[in-house]
């Protein structure tokens, strides 16, 4: 499959417009064993995908281990995360975190200089790789931390950013940014220093386009691009009832139902529209769905090539299901 590449920020690094989100490989919300996870990675590679995103959080190291084993001695572009340190000792109830059969660790949050450096080096060891290309501060923000976020953000501002910038200056990573689920923390982070990219999950999709109002213009001014995570909004846009990592509320379900009805009228899979929509915006460097099986990856690859009539996008805007100013695929 011929996959277009786009640049990360103002760096010289280019990534696939369609990458692989690797949270499911760690057992996040899905019971996926090592061999099945490896099949997804190998299939992605065989289809021309070379950009992969992981994190210590995904299965408390499980995703990193299987991904590293299957990328070693290959050409790849890899993004991973810092801000969480894994400590020995299992959590009491992994499903409280959406984890199925994670490795026997628990998480300590640390966005300080020392915490970032330790998390970076620990991650390389779990991966068994000698480089991470894009380093992202993971889940900083009130969505994850609530009232304690002010302390964590202060750590990132006072010293954690300096650690990430040093790694970039030394050439140990090629780009730095955040990996988050909310717009405001990205806006706040732009006041700290220069970020190359924000991995923003679930906020620029067919269900919501709030970054168009302020975040995307600010990113354009700063030379920061965006990786779109969660293009299916936790599966709601592909027939599941999850949204934002939990059961979808009625209002969101209603909008998804309307989107599905119009997609059916045009005889296109709603998943194809959800996958292709964010790719139309110039600020988006990559879209990274997280397939839970090899079959799901095959379906996603088919959606990437699905032809969608321009009238479909016009209809969504006419029905006020899509912001008028949102760019759409040609």
Report the number of distinct structural domains present in the chain. 1
Residue 22 resides in a domain? yes
Q: Residue 230: what pLDDT? A: 94
**Is pLDDT at 66 greater than 90 in this prediction?**
yes
pLDDT tens-digit map of 85-113:
999 999 989 988 889 999 999 999 999 99
Report the SS3 class of residue 86.
strand
Residue 110: active-site member: no
Range of lowest pLDDT (40-54, 236-250, 270-284): 236-250
CA angle 206, 272, 21 (to 5 degrees): 80
- Asked if residue 325 belongs to a domain, the reply is no
Its sign, for the CA torsion 244, 106, 55, 34, is negative
Note the pLDDT of residue 267: 97
Residue 318 annotated as catalytic = no
Does the pLDDT value for residue 328 go beyond 80?
yes
Q: Name the band, by pLDDT with cuts 50, 70 and 90, for residue 264.
A: very high
Tokens standing for 75?
């050409």
In a domain, 136, yes or no: yes
List 16, 51, 76, 81, catalytic entry:
81
Examine residue 324 and state whether it is found in any structural domain, yes or no. no
Which domain covers residue 38, as residue numbers? 5-318
Q: Which residues contact 162 (CB under 8 A, 6 or more apart)?
A: 113
How many helices (H) and strands (E) are present in the chain, helices listed first?
Answer: 12, 14
Q: Please say if 161 is a catalytic residue.
A: no
Mean pLDDT, range 154-179, rounded to an integer: 98
Give the pLDDT confidence score for residue 325 in this predicted structure: 96
Q: Which of 16, 43, 51, 53 is catalytic?
A: 53
pLDDT per position as a tens digit, 35-61? 999 999 999 999 999 999 999 999 999
The answer to the question of residue 166 being in a domain is yes
Q: Within a 13 Å sphere around the CA of 213, how many CA atoms are in the beta-carbon half?
A: 7
Among 199, 250, 232, residue whose Cα is nearest residue 303: 232
- Within-domain flag for 323: no
pLDDT for residue 249 is more than 90 = no
Residue 305: is it exposed, middle or buried by C-beta count within 10 angstroms (0-12/13-18/19+)? exposed
- Place 242 in a pLDDT band, splitting at 50, 70 and 90: confident
CA–CA gap between residue 155 and residue 88 (Å, rounded): 24
* One-character DSSP codes across 12-52: S-EEESB-EE-SGGGTBSS---HHHHHHHHHHHHHTT--EE
- d(CA 140, CA 145) in angstroms, rounded, equals 7
| Structure confidence at residue 2 as a pLDDT band (50, 70, 90) | confident
pLDDT reported for residue 227:
98
CATH of residue 14: 3.20.20.100
On whether residue 44 sits in a domain, the answer given is yes
Question: Catalytic: which of 16, 43, 58, 113?
Answer: 58
Indicate if the pLDDT at residue 143 is higher than 90: no
Question: Per the domain annotation, does 86 fall within a domain?
Answer: yes
> What count of Cα atoms within 13 Å lies in the side-chain half-sphere of residue 12?
2
- Tokens representing 94? 């992994």
Q: Is 138 helix (H, G, I), strand (E, B) or coil?
A: strand
**Better-predicted residue by pLDDT, 235 or 223:** 223
Does residue 318 carry a pLDDT above 90? yes
């Amino acid at each position: 499959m011929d996959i277009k590449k786009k640049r990360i920020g103002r760096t010289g690094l280019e990534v696939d417009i369609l990458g692989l989100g690797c949270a499911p490989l760690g057992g996040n919300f899905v019971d996926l064993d090592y061999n099945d996870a490896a099949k997804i990675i190998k299939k992605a590679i065989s289809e021309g995908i070379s950009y992969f995103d992981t994190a210590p959080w995904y299965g408390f190291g499980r995703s990193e281990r299987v991904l590293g084993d299957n990328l070693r001695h290959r050409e790849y572009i890899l993004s991973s995360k810092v801000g969480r340190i894994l400590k020995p000792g299992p959590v009491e109830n992994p499903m409280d975190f959406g984890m199925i059969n994670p490795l026997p660790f628990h998480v300590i949050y640390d966005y300080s200089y020392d915490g970032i450096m330790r998390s970076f080096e620990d991650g390389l060891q779990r991966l068994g790789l000698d480089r991470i290309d894009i380093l992202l501060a993971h889940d900083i923000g009130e969505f994850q931390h609530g009232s304690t976020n002010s302390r964590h953000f202060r750590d990132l501002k006072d010293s954690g950013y300096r650690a990430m910038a040093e790694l970039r200056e030394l050439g140990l990573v090629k780009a730095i940014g955040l990996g988050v689920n909310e717009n405001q923390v990205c806006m706040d982070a732009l006041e700290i220093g220069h970020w190359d990219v924000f991995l923003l999950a679930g906020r620029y999709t067919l269900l919501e386009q709030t970054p168009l109002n302020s975040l995307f213009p600010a990113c354009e001014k700063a030379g920061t691009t965006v990786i779109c995570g969660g293009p299916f909004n936790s599966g709601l846009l592909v027939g599941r009832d999850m949204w934002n990592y939990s059961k979808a509320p009625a209002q969101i379900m209603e909008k998804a139902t309307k989107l599905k009805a119009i997609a059916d009228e045009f005889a296109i899979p709603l998943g194809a529209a959800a996958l292709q929509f964010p790719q139309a915006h110039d600020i988006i460097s990559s879209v990274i769905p997280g397939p839970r099986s090899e079959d799901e990856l095959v379906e996603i690859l088919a959606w990437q090539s699905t032809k969608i009539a321009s009238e479909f996008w016009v209809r969504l805007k006419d029905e006020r299901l899509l912001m008028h100013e949102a760019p759409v695929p040609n």
